[in-house]
Amino acid sequence: MNRPHLGFVGAGVVGSTLAVGLSRAGYPVVAVSSRSSERRATLADRLPSATVVETPEAVVRDAALVFLTVPDDVIEPLAASMAWSSGHSVVHCSGAASLDPLEPARVQGAEVGVFHPLQTFARADRAEMILPGSAFGIEASSDDLHAVLAEMAQALGGTPLTVSGDKAIYHASAVIASNYLVALLHVASGLWSSLGLPREDGLKALLPLVHGTIENLERIGFPDALTGPIARGDVGTIERHLAALREVAPSVLSLYKELARTAIPIARAKGGLSKEAAGRVRKLLDHPEEGGS
């Protein structure tokens, strides 16, 4: 399969990571544009075939397949502002949007697609390291473009994943798994202040536990990776947790309860939580002053 000349509009973390990765994989990245002259120059310096261009329109002139690696709300107006033809393909990298924002390009004859790396992009150097092994959510207006994007995902060391249905659900799943894990650990490490220890120490101590949990999920999956008091049916421990949180961190109480409720059916599936104990846990979570072991 011939590899198309690529262009990137947007030189942030996602655009830079993909452009460098695809270039290393043998795809000619020929044009880079960004509102930031510093970012586009920095990215182009890492791409042996790339030329810095001043406008998105110049990227379309030079490249056969254009990546719009810009914020979600910018995709549609940007696509509408550019001139496309039947010789072009254009993709965005949003996890929440489908093909609709690229409709202005499609009606002009371009093939349109989505190429969403299911990975966290905190910093470009870290993203380049962890991108291999990732899933890539792919949509395309034609089988030919779909095949090109699937080959790109594989060239980056990833797995192509054809996404259909409500993209907002797909993206919400990713947000819960990644962004809200950060938020959850912010809460968990913050509890260490009541022990006289800074949040940084709490995070350092908790991270090996998180790594071990993720490794268990990779190796043994649901429901066996669930451990702890709900998995064991240890109602007394849960009661002590609730009492302590009510006194020291009442703002965390509702979060703890909701996560505990979510864990109950997993624990039941694993087999360590009896029906009777599950009922006691639910009663404790709904009416803590009436619970007990």
pLDDT digits (tens, 9 = 90+) for 13-34: 999 999 999 999 999 999 999 9
3-state secondary structure 120-137: CCCCHHHHHHHCCCCEEE
Question: Could you report the per-residue pLDDT of 267-285, keeping only the tens digit for each?
Answer: 999 999 999 999 999 999 9
DSSP state of 5: P
Q: Cβ of 214: how many Cβ atoms within 10 Å?
A: 12
Mean pLDDT of 138-166: 95
Cα–Cα distance for residue pair 108/125, rounded to 1 Å: 37
Name residue 148's amino acid.
Answer: V
Identify whether the C-beta of residue 50 lies closer than 8 Å to the C-beta of residue 25.
no
Q: How confident is the model at residue 56 (pLDDT cuts 50, 70, 90)?
A: very high
Distance CA 105, CA 113 (A): 11
Give the DSSP H or E segment for 228: none
| pLDDT for position 125 | 85
Give the chain's mean pLDDT: 95
Asked if the model's pLDDT at residue 288 lies above 60, the reply is no
pLDDT, average across residues 289-293: 44
Give the pLDDT confidence of 108-143 residue by residue, as tens digits.
999 999 999 999 999 888 999 999 999 999 999 999
pLDDT at res. 146: 97
For position 164, what pLDDT does the model report? 80
pLDDT at position 275 is 96
Mean pLDDT of 98-107: 97
Q: What is the mean pLDDT of residues 1-20?
A: 93
**Would you state the pLDDT for residue 1?**
56
Q: What is the pLDDT of residues 201-214, one digit of tens each?
A: 999 999 999 999 99
Query: What percent of the chain shows pLDDT beyond 70?
Result: 98
Which whole number is the average pLDDT over 147-170?
Answer: 94
Query: Which pair of structure tokens corresponds to residue 74?
Result: 């910018």
Residue 66: strand, helix, or coil: strand
230, 262 Cβ separation under 8 angstroms: no
| 246 pLDDT higher than 80 | yes
pLDDT at 287: 76
What is the maximum alpha-carbon separation in the chain? 71
Q: How confident is the model at residue 289 (pLDDT cuts 50, 70, 90)?
A: low
Report the pLDDT value the prediction gives residue 291, as an integer from 0 to 100. Answer: 42
Angle among Cα 44, 88, 143 to the nearest 5 degrees reads: 115
Predicted local confidence at residue 284, as pLDDT: 93
Give the DSSP H or E segment for 29: strand 29-33
Share of the chain above pLDDT 90, in %: 94
Average the pLDDT over 148-163 and give the result: 97
Q: How confident is the model at residue 222 (pLDDT cuts 50, 70, 90)?
A: very high
The pLDDT value recorded for residue 2 is 77
